[in-house]
Amino acid sequence: DGGITQSPKYLFRKEGQNVTLSCEQNLNHDAMYWYRQDPGQGLRLIYYSQIVNDFQKGDIAEGYSVSREKKESFPLTVTSAQKNPTAFYLCASSIGREEKLFFGSGTQLSVL
């Protein structure tokens, strides 16, 4: 089955630690996105990538980093500079400029 796989489903971060959230898609989509969702809130865009080896900051990129070395993969690193990382993180993809997004099932990140 084609789709987007996010892992792990739950992740815990210690103070001062960097953690990486995985996002893999086998839909052959060009564009990939990372969103953050806080309880009771809508989604906020962190980073997005339209093609391999290129990505742009979204509205809340500070404290996060990404890479896009392969079309299928778009990992998100939550760095120690992100002081309030506890949130639900969602990865999505779309076919180039086609605006129909396909989402993964999300990763819940919590701070120990």
Contacting positions for another protein (CB under 8 A): 4, 31, 33, 35, 41-45, 48, 50, 56, 58-59, 88, 90, 92, 97, 99-106, 108
Minimum separation from the CB atom of position 79 to another protein (A): 22
Q: Does residue 78 contact residue 18 with C-beta atoms inside 8 Å?
A: yes
Minimum separation from the CB atom of position 57 to another protein (A): 10
Q: State yes or no: cis peptide before 8, omega within 30 of 0.
A: yes
Helix (H) or strand (E) holding 94: strand 87-94
Minimum separation from the CB atom of position 111 to another protein (A): 19
4/19 with CB nearer another protein: 4
Question: For residue 50, what are its two tokens?
Answer: 């339209």
Identity at 35, one-letter amino acid code = Y
Minimum separation from the CB atom of position 15 to another protein (A): 26
15/99 with CB nearer another protein: 99
Question: For residue 69, what are its two tokens?
Answer: 């070395």
Q: Which residues pair with 78 in a beta bridge?
A: 19, 64
